[in-house]
Structure 1
């Protein structure tokens, strides 16, 4: 007797349909073919234990299991449940008449209970696209998968429930999630508010401009000046996620196994702050078992790199390509994957090794060469890709001890949303361009050309600061964003002047 049933393998942030074929013959061996890894091969022992604990007998005949297509490597323990059901269907312990209508996935414990898996959302999307009636998976992943409509999602606690479901002995209740209600009910949550930040008005303004145009930003200032505090508040002034962005972000976190138990959609923009000891693979993704890196986990959100010069230089250099292309292609001998990586890079650093260069009250003990060498840890090409470079000074005691609260994140967010709406209308006919930071040179010629006075100001700045051609483009993009915040259709001289002031950390004028 030949039994067929279906499961899925996650590749990148998408899932591929896997057909499991189970056949029997005379003998006592167990064969598992179709490019399984060690974890899949070990499923044999987990299945035997799970069946015995729950009162079922593993067949004594020779069993051959094929996992097709054979050219896709099957990794992980999430194939335990479909393999077990296929083996039981071979001996008619499970009725096989409904197996072709459901996609099955789940990891088995030795007692038969189901453990959560990674990638439930992309698997559910594939199940619907392939025309399956339903999806059976561990209960912990049910809400995540139920975000996909027009698909019956059944969460099971153990293998006994799944066996009873196919035999018509027990009933599994479909998990239902109102996607839009779930999405909009949590969209306005702001965990950190700019109203808590005393002073630092110029830095708040720079962060507002960065949020309005999707620009990268670096803050340079002494320890305790509020760099990390303000960076954590940036997601609260970014525009809310759209439903499409929310689904895309949730897919990435689902594949990486970062979703909390019982969660469904990610409704707030992600904020990732990796430690400076992070490796290249952890930053961009990949590995023996491919996983999204930090730049993909920050997709549609913020990647915050605190103490930027302390990161390994090679780790920082791998950011150059995804900052421009907004995706990362991982090419290895066995696979090539592409992960989305459209994120805002927010970085912070001390101005020098001791941390007090340009401090208003504390003396710096570093000489000019030490300050320059410290900044040289960040390459010029990477610094060029950071649109806004702002110097931050400590807050005075009077402002710190004052009772007056700053402007709330909600108020700032309203201005940011208005500016983003202008950009959405401007780029409505252009694919893959949604904000000013994504403008190409051709679009700059069309939408960000200054007048004669502005060109003269820009020429003087380029000459005096010895800026690169990329810095020229960045200044125009930031000036376009400032004009949008101002509600101006044309870039004024004042907009350009403010944009130029955000390049004050370029090498030629830093550290004397």
Structure 2
């Protein structure tokens, strides 16, 4: 007979249903695996055979052929092990063929029959739900991750024998010497650490001085804008960037599950609960384009820009990144997604994050009074952040170190910056006004609004509102993209102030953030 058991193949966050078919026929004992498997999956033959024997299940002493359909789809990883083993049990008659119907299977088999966690359980559960499956079998260590998905029953199993008994295998069909149940699987160390490291976010009130930078953070948080800060070492650029996630509102459930699904592809499990806080990624300046954007020679994995989806991607010492790596961010910043093409397929990852760049004004890092670098060296250093990339950054400002007077006042509790909780409340109110204004459109944040829509709205405003924009465009200080981004910032300023419409003052402030001499 031919037994069938469903599994899932992931390309990015998209899943394709794979039907695992097993045929048992007379002939010399052999186990053949076909269907375009990669090396890790081709080794499943030995893992499955050993797991079946360790679980006390009868391995057919015949020719066993397992096909993964569609055969033209490349399959990778060890997450097909459980589906292969179940299909063999059905073909051998150990369990009934109707038992695994409408049930998705995912997990890697150990040689002792244990079922181990694999990356991507959460996106597999999401894809299974969309495909209409009613149940999903997952490793016990990944149960909490799969249970974050509504509309599908999660069956958590620790070993293959437990799953066979759940499917109604007759006890006499299992060898008596097999253990009754394998010991519970240990949660991987990295997952436990991730769950334990729920440290409080740094507070904005720690910032000394830099009122302009604190205001720019609030504007960036309201509209989801990108930010560039230039200043000498010790000015507080990193400190400010690390406090941006703390003033962002919590993610809604759909966005939280989407960000958790991306992290699941990297093997970071949502061990206990899906976090609703925006993610924060700060890769080192030695990172490659693949590390930032995603890719890989085999299984295509998301990069830092996708891990920061709905959160903040912070690039400290931005001019130290290779220029080609920084310029590779230009298209994802516009589209909000990363599409990676390989000869065997295409993977797409969401990448709608806020980019925060921090840079020194010159190679030596000293302030203007102590800098000994020639002017051309300073210009060359800052120009490593190319003009097209800077044109995509809405807010650009200089950050200066706090003065002695500001430090003294801070020590006395005078002139302290607002707390993150206070600013987050203002940001939530401003975003609520943005959402109400953009109701009925596909956008929710000002940074997402289409330029045509903004310019059409601007045409209905009085002439004095758009005069500064027209003048800057005529002088070549703004591109058409720059006009769009200035209007987005102007609307964020209006929402932060509670205004119903943008004014000439909002336009001037938005232009000031784009015309800073860095």
Match of 2:374 in 1: 367
Give the one of 449, 452, 456 matched to 1:442.
Answer: 452
> Structure 1 stretch 491-500 or stretch 406-415: which is displaced more?
491-500
Structure 1: distance between partners of 2:470 and 2:132 = 60
| CA RMSD, 1 decimal | 2.3
The answer to whether 1:255 aligns with 2:256 is no
CA drift at 1:283: 1.5
The answer to whether 1:317 aligns with 2:327 is yes
CA drift at 1:465: 7.8
Contact 1:451 1:491 in 2 (8 A): no
Match of 1:200 in 2: 210
The answer to whether 1:127 aligns with 2:128 is yes
CA drift at 1:447: 3.6
Contact 1:190 1:236 in 2 (8 A): no
Structure 2: distance between partners of 1:192 and 1:16 = 41
Structure 2: distance between partners of 1:477 and 1:296 = 23
Match of 2:251 in 1: 241
The answer to whether 1:42 aligns with 2:43 is yes
> Structure 1 stretch 56-65 or stretch 3-12: which is displaced more?
56-65
Match of 1:284 in 2: 293
CA drift at 1:258: 2.3
The answer to whether 1:422 aligns with 2:433 is yes
- Quickly say closer, same or farther: Cα 1:500–1:131, change in 2 above 3 A: closer
Q: Secondary structure in 2 aligned to 1:9?
A: strand
Structure 1: distance between partners of 2:281 and 2:50 = 40
Contact 2:227 2:394 in 1 (8 A): yes
Q: Secondary structure in 2 aligned to 1:274?
A: coil
- Quickly say closer, same or farther: Cα 1:471–1:127, change in 2 above 3 A: closer
Structure 2: distance between partners of 1:24 and 1:486 = 72
- Quickly say closer, same or farther: Cα 1:465–1:221, change in 2 above 3 A: farther
Match of 1:7 in 2: 7
Structure 2: distance between partners of 1:161 and 1:63 = 23
CA drift at 1:331: 1.9
Deviations 1:354-391 (A, max 9, x none): 11243xxx511111111001011111000111010010
Structure 1: distance between partners of 2:84 and 2:71 = 16
- Quickly say closer, same or farther: Cα 1:320–1:144, change in 2 above 3 A: same
Structure 2: distance between partners of 1:329 and 1:112 = 38
CA drift at 1:225: 1.3
Structure 2: distance between partners of 1:465 and 1:227 = 30
Aligned residue pairs total 487
Once the two structures are superposed, the pairs formed by residues 86-235 of structure 1 within 5 Å of their partners are 86-167=87-168, 191-235=201-245
Structure 2: distance between partners of 1:166 and 1:147 = 24
Match of 1:23 in 2: 23
Structure 2 unaligned runs (5+)?
172-179, 182-197
- Quickly say closer, same or farther: Cα 1:67–1:282, change in 2 above 3 A: same
CA drift at 1:57: 4.3
Q: Secondary structure in 1 aligned to 2:3?
A: strand
Structure 2: distance between partners of 1:460 and 1:103 = 61
Deviations 1:120-167 (A, max 9, x none): 122222333344331111011111111222322011111121112112
- Quickly say closer, same or farther: Cα 1:134–1:283, change in 2 above 3 A: same
The answer to whether 1:502 aligns with 2:513 is yes
Structure 2: distance between partners of 1:7 and 1:43 = 14
Match of 1:384 in 2: 391
CA drift at 1:38: 1.0
Structure 1: distance between partners of 2:345 and 2:133 = 28
Deviations 1:189-212 (A, max 9, x none): 962211222222110000101111
- Quickly say closer, same or farther: Cα 1:480–1:132, change in 2 above 3 A: closer
Match of 1:184 in 2: none
Structure 2: distance between partners of 1:372 and 1:93 = 73
CA drift at 1:42: 0.3
Give the one of 472, 478, 487 matched to 1:476.
Answer: 487
CA drift at 1:279: 1.4
Give the one of 397, 400, 405 matched to 2:404.
Answer: 397
CA drift at 1:266: 2.9
- Quickly say closer, same or farther: Cα 1:302–1:63, change in 2 above 3 A: same
Q: Secondary structure in 1 aligned to 2:41?
A: helix
Q: Give TM-score scaled by structure 2 length.
A: 0.89
Structure 2: distance between partners of 1:72 and 1:110 = 27
Deviations 1:227-278 (A, max 9, x none): 1111111111112211221222222222232235x23423111111111111
Structure 1: distance between partners of 2:62 and 2:101 = 24
> Structure 1 stretch 267-276 or stretch 384-393: which is displaced more?
267-276
CA drift at 1:473: 2.6
Q: Secondary structure in 2 aligned to 1:167?
A: coil
